[in-house]
Amino acid sequence: MRFSKLYAPTTKEAPKDATLPSHQFLVRGGFISQVGSGLYNFLPMGKIVFDKIKNIVKEEMDATGAQEIQMGVVTPAELWKQSGRYNAFGKELCRLKDRKENEFVLGPTHEEVVVDIVRNRINSYKQLPLHLYQITTKFRDEARPRFGLLRGREFTMKDGYSFHEDETCMKKEFALMEETYTKIFTRLGLDFRAVDADSGAIGGSGSKEFMVLAQNGEDDIVVCQKCSYAANIEAAKRAKKVTTIEAPQADLSKFKTPDMKTIEDVCNFLHVDSFYSIKAVVKKAIYIDSEEIVVFFVRGSDELQEVKAINACGAIDLIDAELEEIQKVGLHAGFIGPVGLECVKFYIDFELKEEKNLVCGANEEDFHFVGVSMFNFKEERYADLSAVKAGDKCVCCGEELYVTKGIEVGHIFQLGQKYAKAMSATFLDKNGKSQPFYMGCYGVGVSRLVAVMIEASHDERGCMWNKQTAPYLLDIIISNPKDEAQSIYALSIYEALKKEKFEVLLDDRPERFGFKIKDYELIGFPYALIVGKELEEGLVEIVERKTLEKTVVKKEEVLDVLRNLLA
Ligand code: ATP
Ligand code: MG
């Protein structure tokens, strides 16, 4: 390709809302353009990168025996009503009507459609297992579309769905997908971890996320310093917390604690370590067609983990409760405790179970209890609620945990029979009995990966593509296109490499050298060949983008050197 013909509108200015390097450089480098909030177009070079990533995903998926299909973006709402997700999915689901008032959704994920594809067509265990996948457009009306391709509203996902006769077979495919995703992200040259995850709106049991370790990640991941344990903070476990600080011995009694509404105030006043106190977090839980005030109790030294809390109460979402709403249900803000609490639904962190000598609110203005023991609560009250912190101990090996940032690039789920049951998708098993399918589903954020490649590899000048994903491997820059010798030599190298099927770009634009080298650094091809004045002495320069190191090479030796570098 000649740069003079390439549509790559590079700019000096980044969009105002672009805070991350991948967003800035993909727009400035002419890879993508924005048409609306969370809506992006891929320009020629962006499309090349996108296709390269897509091909790697496709090659690895095909190698597992999964079969590629293509499902429509527009889906009848009826299917979503059958699964129960039409209401449960919340505002991310874009719902629309046609001219006849029929309801549809724009597919944010395709479990419903794929179940419809196989139900009544696969009737026997003999036709199982089956894995269908696609690499297509998704639409999610994200609350905060941002960071360019990292969180769009329209984006491309590889989504695969597998069908099985039993749990064992489903787990086998899950393991195969874990292995396959590992191959995909390794081929892309990314530094990643597979972590235990929460299953979110997709549902089901065991799920794992693939996280690329990156400073600008939106996810907090908990990693063990010693063993292989790693989890999204939303699902992270820890060894039960203990302390060497002695418990304050006291019989159950009520203390006047006037105006002391925070845990710190109360603990300071009573000379108790916050480990021995119970903190109440009041939230408004949003359900499909109702809402209610719910209280979550965690240790004073812990924080509530919101996703865990959502899972505990089965809500779609939790929002902060207004003081007025709290008072209205009969709670005394600042003095709420589990003992004798009856006016609201509440949950207690499971690490508090059977603990003694605790301090908590007495559900009476200006009073706290001391000497509280946690023995008399029903089992259903307890749930894993607290957020794991750096320095907590690993649930597997007891070593210290640390917290780091990650970007989710893939998510694999064991769905079990959830969708097949809800949508009456069954087959006849070995004993001739009708059974709902066991399913798994597996997603890769293909368009997100374009941005992740840059988050993982850039400097202050621009992108640094690796050879697996670069739009072109080499940029041949003619320093002065008016110099005939430079042009002729550059063209000969360009033609020779093209003949050998190397992906090369010839920067033949009638621009100053400084402008062209800036574009090279911004776009970030792995190598550049600079054909300049020194050609008169038979010399040219090769630049490596990663290091910006320059090597002077004799013009006769250039082809051999480049063949080695680009291979
Ligand atoms: P997130 O927590 O980042 O919103 P998710 O859990 O909603 O992701 P999944 O439903 O598991 O995502 O979708 C599979 C993959 O699709 C994700 O791992 C991610 O790489 C990608 N993805 C999800 N939402 C978006 C988005 N808004 N823009 C781009 N890619 C996305
Ligand atoms: Mg999401």
| Domain range enclosing 562 | 474-566
Burial (Cβ within 10 Å: 0-12, 13-18, ≥19) of residue 182: middle
Residues 153 and 228 in one domain: yes
Contact indicator for 277, 337 with CB cutoff of 8 Å: no
**HEC assignment per residue over 48-79:** HHHHHHHHHHHHHHHHCCCEECCCCCEEEHHH
Rounded distance from Cα 56 to ligand 2 centre (Å): 23
Residues 310 and 424 in one domain: no
- Which residues in 486-512 are b (16+ Cβ under 10 Å) and which e? bbebbbebbeebeeeebbbbbbbbebe
Residues 257 and 232 in one domain: no
Residue 393 domain flag: no
- ∠ Cα 138 139 140 (to 5°): 125
Best CA proximity match to 490, nearest among 530, 534, 548: 530
Contact indicator for 222, 233 with CB cutoff of 8 Å: yes
Residues 359 and 265 in one domain: yes
CATH number, domain containing residue 417: 3.30.930.10
Residue 223 domain flag: yes
Residue 243 domain flag: no
Question: Which residue minimizes the CA distance to atom 4 of ligand 1?
Answer: 151
Residue 308 Cα to chain centre, angstroms: 17
Distance CA 238, CA 549 (A): 46
Question: Which residue minimizes the CA distance to atom 27 of ligand 1?
Answer: 151
Rounded distance from Cα 99 to ligand 1 centre (Å): 31
Within 6 Å (CB) of ligand 1, which residues are found? 109, 140, 142, 151-152, 155, 157, 200, 202, 408-411, 443, 445, 447-448
Residue 457: per-residue pLDDT: 97
Ligand 1 nearest atom to the CA of residue 151, by list position: 28
Burial (Cβ within 10 Å: 0-12, 13-18, ≥19) of residue 103: middle
Residues 423 and 502 in one domain: no
Rounded distance from Cα 296 to ligand 1 centre (Å): 28
Contact indicator for 51, 42 with CB cutoff of 8 Å: no
Best CA proximity match to 110, nearest among 144, 66, 160: 160
Residue 205: per-residue pLDDT: 62
Residue 201: per-residue pLDDT: 60
Rounded distance from Cα 299 to ligand 2 centre (Å): 30
Residue 95 domain flag: no
Distance CA 417, CA 402 (A): 35
Proximal ligand: closest to the CA of 150: 1
Rounded distance from Cα 214 to ligand 2 centre (Å): 18
CA dist list (Å): 196 to 207, 233, 240, 351, 431: 6, 9, 18, 20, 35
Q: Who's near 484: CB < 8 A, 6+ residues apart?
A: none
Residue 361: per-residue pLDDT: 96
Contact indicator for 133, 110 with CB cutoff of 8 Å: no
Residues 193 and 60 in one domain: yes
Burial (Cβ within 10 Å: 0-12, 13-18, ≥19) of residue 178: middle
Contact indicator for 88, 60 with CB cutoff of 8 Å: no
Ligand 1 nearest atom to the CA of residue 142, by list position: 27
Rounded distance from Cα 203 to ligand 1 centre (Å): 14
Proximal ligand: closest to the CA of 110: 1
Proximal ligand: closest to the CA of 409: 1
CA dist list (Å): 516 to 49, 520, 533: 21, 6, 15
Residue 212: per-residue pLDDT: 97
Residue 159 domain flag: yes
Residues 272 and 329 in one domain: yes
Residues 417 and 495 in one domain: no
Distance CA 443, CA 177 (A): 10
β-bridge partners, 232 = 221
End-to-end CA distance of the chain: 19
Ligand 1 nearest atom to the CA of residue 201, by list position: 10
Residue 62 domain flag: yes
Q: Who's near 285: CB < 8 A, 6+ residues apart?
A: 291, 292, 293, 294, 310, 313, 315, 317, 318, 345
Place of tokens 């011995």: 249
Question: Which residue minimizes the CA distance to atom 18 of ligand 1?
Answer: 410
Best CA proximity match to 352, nearest among 341, 342, 338: 338
Proximal ligand: closest to the CA of 53: 1
Residue 11: per-residue pLDDT: 97
Distance CA 149, CA 407 (A): 12
pLDDT along the chain (567 residues), means of 10: 97 94 98 97 98 98 98 97 92 96 98 97 98 98 95 98 98 97 98 89 76 94 94 95 90 91 90 95 93 97 96 93 95 95 96 95 95 94 96 96 97 95 97 97 98 98 98 98 97 98 97 97 98 97 98 98 97
Distance CA 144, CA 58 (A): 30
Strands 74-76 and 103-106, bridge-based pairing: antiparallel
Proximal ligand: closest to the CA of 142: 1
Rounded distance from Cα 141 to ligand 2 centre (Å): 10
Rounded distance from Cα 409 to ligand 1 centre (Å): 7
Pocket test for ligand 1, best of 93, 94, 157, 307 (most atoms within 8 A of CB): 157
Contact indicator for 150, 445 with CB cutoff of 8 Å: no
Which residue among 383, 416, 439 closes a domain? 383
Rounded distance from Cα 110 to ligand 1 centre (Å): 13
pTM of the predicted protein model: 0.91
Residue 90 domain flag: no
CATH number, domain containing residue 528: 3.40.50.800
* Strand ranges, E, within 77-206: 94-97, 103-106, 130-139, 154-164, 192-196
Residues 553 and 512 in one domain: yes
Residue 203: per-residue pLDDT: 58
Contact indicator for 553, 546 with CB cutoff of 8 Å: no
Residue 259: per-residue pLDDT: 86
Residues 263 and 332 in one domain: yes
Residues 327 and 422 in one domain: no
Amino acid at residue number 439: M
Residue 345: per-residue pLDDT: 96
Rounded distance from Cα 301 to ligand 1 centre (Å): 32
Residue 202: per-residue pLDDT: 60
Pocket test for ligand 1, best of 23, 411, 444, 450 (most atoms within 8 A of CB): 411
Burial (Cβ within 10 Å: 0-12, 13-18, ≥19) of residue 540: buried
CATH number, domain containing residue 318: 3.90.960.10
Question: Which residue minimizes the CA distance to atom 26 of ligand 1?
Answer: 151
Number of domains observed in the structure of the chain: 3
Rounded distance from Cα 18 to ligand 1 centre (Å): 20
Residues 493 and 554 in one domain: yes
Strands 462-463 and 458-459, bridge-based pairing: antiparallel
Proximal ligand: closest to the CA of 152: 1
- ∠ Cα 415 417 423 (to 5°): 110
Could you write out the DSSP letters of every residue in 479-525?
Answer: S-TT-HHHHHHHHHHHHHHHHTT--EEEE--SS-HHHHHHHHHHHT-
Question: Which residue minimizes the CA distance to atom 11 of ligand 1?
Answer: 411
Question: Which residue minimizes the CA distance to atom 28 of ligand 1?
Answer: 151
Structure tokens belonging to residue 339: 């003992």
Which residue among 351, 383, 415 closes a domain? 383
